[in-house]
Chains A and B, each alone.
Chain A
Amino acid sequence: MKAETRSGPAGLAEVRRFVDLEIAPHANAFERAEWIPREVLSRVAELDLWAPFLPSEFGGAGMDMVTLGRVHEEIGRGCSSLRSLLTVHSMVSASVHRWGDQAQQEKWLRALACGEKLGAFCLTEPDRSGSDATAEGTTAVRDQDGWVLNGTKKWITGGQVADLFMVFATTGSGMCTFLVEADRPGVRVTALPHVAGTTASMLALVEFTDVRLEPSALLGPQGWAAGTVMTNALGLGRYSVACGAVGIIRAAIDACAEYTSVRSAGGVPLRDLPHVRQMMSGMVTARDAGRLLCERAGALSDAGDPATIMATWVAKYHASKAAVQAAGDAVQIHGANGFSPEHPVGRLYRDSKVTEVIEGSTQVQELTIAAEAYREVAQ
């Protein structure tokens, strides 16, 4: 998928152009088709954007988290479904880099860095609360040859096109993580059609039936510390979603600025109505606050500071709620046109709502963030 001519990932100006010309104008069509064309995924590869944070020895560019966040914000401005694919691919790539042994890193990282292989993250199960983040319905049993994997995962972003699944399963020593190729015998992928948000993110139900895995399929530590594999990956996912939500707010502002400049009501351009100005001001403030929170979380992550974990929760909490508010206001400002496939804001609204559910729902975040507040007060 990768072009041979580039010497590093696209800069932000180039990403912005890519989004303006090749993503945003087609995002409604992607949503209707429930699919992002392969050529678009190839363009992401040409721009070296699949996993630019990986070190150069594995085909990445060592991109820092603050810059990565800006890239995901830009992509999220154009199409949240594409940003979602980047989110889960980043989670898998970063996990193989952080926890993989030398053989796993050599086997996967270059292919993940250039987008030749796409990764998907398989934690949620159909019959269990995703918020509980357990993998009790999926089992991996050790025998003398390796592992035998059984279970079903649902809502798997990019599942229809992924080559590598990062699968959480229960073993005798608790939850563990496995790297499973999509073409292994016993892996069955079924598309999930008509999903109401990030509709083009090629979501799938993924069933594993007696899938045989070599011992080397196990990723990272077993037992208690296996939880840190999940926490770490979800932290990056949460950061990417937060940045993508800031992108949604920007897209809402752009759409409203344009629409209210050409549309009048009661003889007055919409842009001159006080309630429109109020909504626009709210969006601008939410965008700036969201970006600052994301930058803080990214900078703490770049510094290896554990405070990044809570900063990321806060950034995602704000940005996802603010994106829902902004996209909802944008639909309101557009009136009936807000529901039209000719305008982006209906899609922005549907996509924004997803950001409040995934990578820790708003309610689960409230438990965590409030607990931190009580701890701080107790000090």
Chain B
Amino acid sequence: MSNDARTQIRTFITTKFPDVTFSDEEDIFALGFVNSLFAMELVMFIEKAFGTRIPNEELHLGNFRSVALMADLVARQTSAAVG
């Protein structure tokens, strides 16, 4: 799931911002292209693509800084929903 989630999240970001290159662990907020509009798009994308509703306590910057952290968030949410 985690690798698949990484691929999907990366594809979503690079489709929107094809010129930006970054590793899965890199802080995408430090790269300066994430504005509040794209942040909301990211939240909506994750919720739709992985069929989950991110609870308020998980909605903090630390969970969205990198592709890897977002994939970890997805894994936590989807396992919480299953379990």
In the bound complex, do residue A227 and residue B36 qualify as a contact, i.e. CB atoms below 8 Å apart? yes
Interface-side segment among B3-11, B12-20, B74-82: B12-20
Question: Hey, which chain B residues are within 8 Å of A306, CB to CB?
Answer: 40-42, 44-45, 48
Nearest to A222 among chain B residues (CB) is B60
CA distance A375 to B17 in the complex (A): 7
Q: Which of A223, A309, A379 contacts B61 (CB 8 A)?
A: A223
The smallest beta-carbon distance between A107 and chain B, in angstroms, is 16
Q: Decide if the interface of chain A is mainly helix, strand, loop or mixed.
A: helix
Would A227 and B15 count as touching, CB distance under 8 A? Answer: no
Q: Which residues of A contact B26 (CB under 8 A)?
A: none
Which residues A189-233 have CB closer than 8 A to chain B? 220-221, 223-225, 227-228, 230-232
Classify chain A's interface size: 20 to 34
Q: CB distance B15 to A225 under 8 Å?
A: no
Contact A101 B18, CB 8 Å, known A228-B40, A309-B41, A309-B44: no
* Residue A235 is within 8 A (CB to CB) of chain B in the complex: yes
Contact indicator A379/B60 (Cβ below 8 Å):
no
Return chain B residues, CB-CB under 8 Å to A227: 36, 39-40
Q: Are A378 and B18 in contact, with the CB atoms below 8 A? A: yes
**Are A99 and B48 touching (Cβ within 8 A)?**
no
Q: Are B17 and A228 in contact (CB under 8 A)?
A: no
**Contacts of B47 on A, CB cut-off 8 Å?**
304
- State the Cβ distance, A359 to closest chain B Cβ, in Å: 13
Given A220-B56, A223-B60, A309-B41, residue A304 in contact with residue B36 (CB < 8 A): no
Residues of B near A232 (CB, < 8 A) are 40
Contact of A224 with B56 in the complex, beta carbons under 8 Å: no
Known: A375-B17, A379-B15, A379-B18. A228 touches B59 (CB 8 A): yes
9 A-B contact pairs sorted by A residue (CB < 8 Å): A220-B59, A221-B60, A225-B61, A230-B36, A231-B40, A306-B41, A306-B42, A306-B48, A309-B41
Task: State the B residues within 8 Å of A (CB).
Answer: 15-19, 36-37, 39-45, 47-48, 56-57, 59-61, 64
